């Protein structure tokens, strides 16, 4: 198998390309590998698709960057049965890999190369795919602020999500939007504070929005929180961060939680949602699960999140992806 490290040089504080090259050389990795440095947003997807069109033997691509790079690699690999993917997280977010124990698990290159491939699900809107989460309402307001401040001192970087929350408290506490899960309208009044449709468990670097989510069960987690006062929001944000909100009595009257395969969104013009971190302006759209869409390599000795009833389904290299 060929191993291709797709590296976003803008990810992280250091030169990711040089760091990864040195790691591979120092480890004296005995595999057929090459490095590719992305040139611009969207380049990783285009590069992988072109690669897969001309190279028909088994190949594994590693997303070396943050959640945005991971998403680009996902959209490059999906649909090619001979291609699989892994992740070397060196960006600022890295939310999806928390499902498997966090980014440090994936930094062990030898464990990554020796890892096993699992079939995992994706979510799809139109012809685009996401691996971690689609979120909107308060969350998309936060995401917009994060994009604006992420490279600024003090309020950016690891603090960008907190900055987004502060801004959201002033302008995104009540949002017009109807959410239908497998035919059931779950907020008949058409209002919400926030809603997350998840395949992973975390968003925003620290918020465990979907603690029961499994990335290979053929279902998406839908967590909708109804509008609340500023005071109640502040009182409950810690619970939401910890991921204990689904069982907390304080959320009983303000939370709608479902598992489903098809989620329809109907909102006013100008509506914005976050799709694996990419902000998209679209007021009517459908999020669908694609079961067993790709093969994702899990590092050797990875530790799944406590409480995650994950059932591993390892894939042989010659097996085909089930994506439609």
Residues whose CB falls within 8 Å of the CB of residue 39, separated by 6 or more in sequence, listed in order? none
pLDDT digits (tens, 9 = 90+) for 204-232: 778 899 999 999 999 999 999 999 999 99
Under CATH, to which class is 2-120+293-298 assigned? alpha beta
Domains of the chain, residue spans = 2-120+293-298, 133-288
Cα–Cα dist 121/295, whole Å? 9
Task: Reduce the DSSP state of residue 283 to 3 states and report it.
Answer: coil
71-85, 106-120, 214-228: lowest mean pLDDT where?
Answer: 106-120
pLDDT, residue 313, reads 60
CATH pick for 133-288 out of 2.30.38.10, 2.60.200.40, 1.10.287.3610, 1.10.1060.10:
2.60.200.40
pLDDT value for 300: 84
Token code pair at residue 312? 């591993």
Alpha-carbon span 183 to 186, nearest angstrom:
9
Dist CA 135 CA 118 (whole Å): 25
Confidence of residue 314 (pLDDT cuts 50, 70, 90): low
How far apart are the C-alpha atoms of 296 and 227, rounded to whole Å?
37
Is residue 56's pLDDT more than 60? yes
Residue with tokens 């917009």: 144
**Residue 176 tokens, joined:** 């017009």
- Asked if pLDDT for residue 260 goes beyond 50, the answer is yes
Among all chains, which residue has been given the structure tokens 């759209």?
285
pTM: 0.88
Task: Pull the structure tokens for residue 190.
Answer: 């058409």
**Angstrom distance (rounded) from CA 244 to CA 236:** 10
Tell me the average pLDDT across 57-83: 96
Distance between CA atoms of residues 319 and 156, nearest Å: 43
């Amino acid at each position: 198998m060929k191993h291709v490290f797709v590296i976003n040089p803008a990810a992280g504080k250091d030169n990711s390309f040089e760091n990864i090259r040195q790691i591979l050389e120092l480890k004296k990795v005995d595999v057929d590998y090459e490095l590719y440095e992305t040139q611009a947003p969207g380049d990783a997807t285009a590069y992988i698709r072109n690669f897969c069109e001309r190279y028909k033997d088994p190949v594994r691509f590693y997303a070396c960057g943050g959640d945005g790079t991971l998403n680009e690699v996902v959209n490059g690999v999906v649909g090619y049965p001979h291609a699989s993917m892994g992740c070397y997280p060196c960006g600022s977010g890295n939310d999806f890999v928390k499902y498997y124990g966090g980014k440090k698990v994936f930094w062990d290159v030898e464990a990554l190369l020796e890892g096993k491939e699992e079939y995992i699900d994706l979510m799809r809107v139109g012809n685009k795919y996401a691996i971690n989460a689609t979120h909107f309402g308060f969350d998309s307001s936060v995401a917009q602020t994060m994009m604006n401040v992420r490279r600024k001192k003090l309020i950016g970087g690891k603090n960008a999500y907190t900055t987004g929350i502060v801004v959201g408290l002033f302008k995104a506490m009540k949002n017009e939007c109807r959410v239908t899960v497998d035919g059931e309208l779950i907020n008949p009044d058409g209002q919400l504070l926030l809603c997350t449709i998840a395949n992973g468990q975390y968003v925003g670097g620290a918020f465990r929005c979907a603690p029961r989510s499994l990335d290979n069960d053929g279902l998406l987690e839908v967590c909708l929180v109804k509008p609340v006062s500023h005071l109640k929001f502040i009182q409950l944000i810690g619970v939401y961060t910890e991921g204990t909100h689904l069982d907390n009595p304080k959320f009983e009257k303000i939370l709608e939680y479902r598992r489903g395969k098809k989620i329809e969104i109907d909102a006013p013009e100008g509506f914005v949602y976050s799709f694996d971190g990419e902000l998209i302006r679209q007021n009517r759209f459908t999020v669908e699960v694609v079961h067993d869409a790709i093969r994702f390599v899990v590092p050797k000795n990875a530790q799944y999140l406590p409480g995650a009833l994950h059932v591993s389904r390892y894939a042989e290299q010659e097996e085909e992806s089930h994506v439609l």
